[in-house]
Amino acid sequence: MGKKSIETFVGIFVLLGFAGLVFLALKAANLGSFSGADTYTLTAYFDNIGALKVRAPVRSAGVTVGRVASIKLDPKLYQGVVELAIQRDVQFPTDSSLRILTSGLLGDQYVGVEPGGGEKMWAAGDTVKQTQSAVVLESLISQFLFSKAADAGGAPAPAAAASGGKK
Q: Judge whether 128 and 44 are in contact, CB under 8 Å.
A: yes
Comparing CA positions, the residue from 35, 28, 75 lying closest to residue 53 is 28
The tens digit of pLDDT for each residue in 112-121 reads: 999 988 889 9
Q: What 3-state DSSP class applies to 57?
A: strand
The tens digit of pLDDT for each residue in 146-166 reads: 887 777 765 555 554 444 544
What are the domain boundaries of the chain? 1-32, 39-141
DSSP assignments along 110-136, one per residue? EEEEE----SSB--TT-EE--EEPPPP
What are the contacts of 71-79 at 24+ separation with CB within 8 A?
74/45, 77/45, 79/45, 79/46, 79/47
Q: Judge whether 88 and 40 are in contact, CB under 8 Å.
A: yes
Higher pLDDT pick, 11 / 145: 11
Q: Judge whether 96 and 11 are in contact, CB under 8 Å.
A: no
Say how many CA atoms lie within 13 Å of 87 toward its Cβ: 14
Encode burial over 74-85: b for 16+ CB neighbours within 10 A, e otherwise. Answer: eeeeebbbbebb
The tens digit of pLDDT for each residue in 60-78 reads: 998 999 999 999 999 999 9
Average pLDDT of the residues in 85-102: 91
Mean pLDDT of the chain: 82
* pTM: predicted TM-score of the whole model, two decimal places: 0.64
pLDDT at 134: 77
The tens digit of pLDDT for each residue in 11-23 reads: 999 999 999 998 8
DSSP code, position 51: T
Average pLDDT of the residues in 28-54: 78
**Residues with Cβ < 8 Å from 88, sequence gap 6 or more?**
37, 38, 39, 40
